[in-house]
Every structure is written in structure tokens, then in C-alpha cells.
Amino acid sequence: MRKTLTALFAVFVATSSATAQKVGFDMGVHGGIAISAFEDLISDFYGVGFGGGGHVDANIVKFFTTRLNVEYYTFAADQNKLREAVAPAFGLRASDIASSSGGAVNVFIVTMNALGKIPTGTAVTPYTLFGFGIHS
């Protein structure tokens, strides 16, 4: 993971430093709720989560931008459903299992994107996006 993050950062620096005289930088943050789309095996135990992230844009030329994006999301487990599912596997009743705060799913995402902006002459700027990244 460290090598991939280093490679993403190197691409970002290379594309921005190559045109450093003309490059403008922007940044932003976001946060909010997240709706899980887990596989059937675990989807019963997780619902809505929350998280957020931020990005740094390097505006290379008027209609082209590179974006480094980092996000983090967490989904808490429904402890009652989790105990009810686990208890039979160990020959226990759900009430025999103490409540815990474990079982959360945490997702960390890093992406590197290229944005091709479509000029409209208005406040709205549609764009195309191409990117790659990792999540853990």
C-alpha cells in the first residue's frame, strides 16, 4: 500500500510540477452519510454509515485538472443481529454474548483522477473523469 500511495503522489507531483508556472491549486473537503452495498453475507449487519474526505486539484491547463482524493468511511455493526447470528455457531444464546463495540467496517480510499472540463460559459462546468486508486 505504501508503494501505491507513493506512486500516486509521484504522479500528482510530476503532473503539477511540470507546469508549475501555470498551475493553480484548489482543494475541498466533504462529509456525510454513506449507504452500504455489502455482499449478502454481511449486508444484514450494516446499514448507513458516515465519513468524508478531501481532495487537492492541480489545474494544469484551462480544461484539464488532476485530482488527488482521500476518503474514509465507517459502518457500525448492528450488535443484536450480529450476536444472534454468531451465537448458534458456538452453541450459545444471543443473550450469553456480552455487548461490544466491535464489528465496524472501516473503508480508506485514495484515488488519482484526471478531469477533462467541458467549457459552457456558465457557472456549471460538466466534466469527464478518468482515474485509478486503491481502497482498503
Contact between 106 and 46 under an 8 Å Cβ cutoff? The reply is: no
Q: What is the pLDDT of residue 7?
A: 67
Q: What is the pLDDT of residue 21?
A: 57
pLDDT value at position 11?
64
Give 77's contacts (C-beta < 8 A, 6+ positions apart): 45, 46, 102, 103, 104, 105
Contact status, residue 46 vs residue 75, Cβ threshold 8 Å: yes
Q: Which residues of the chain have pLDDT under 70?
A: 1-2, 5, 7-21, 99-101
pTM of the entire predicted model: 0.66
Please tell me the predicted confidence (pLDDT) of residue 101.
64
Tell me the per-residue pLDDT of 33-56, one tens digit each, with 9 for 90 and over: 988 887 777 778 888 899 999 999
CB 13 within 8 A of CB 23: no
* pLDDT for residue 117: 85
pLDDT value at residue 125: 83
Classified as helix, coil or strand, 134 is strand
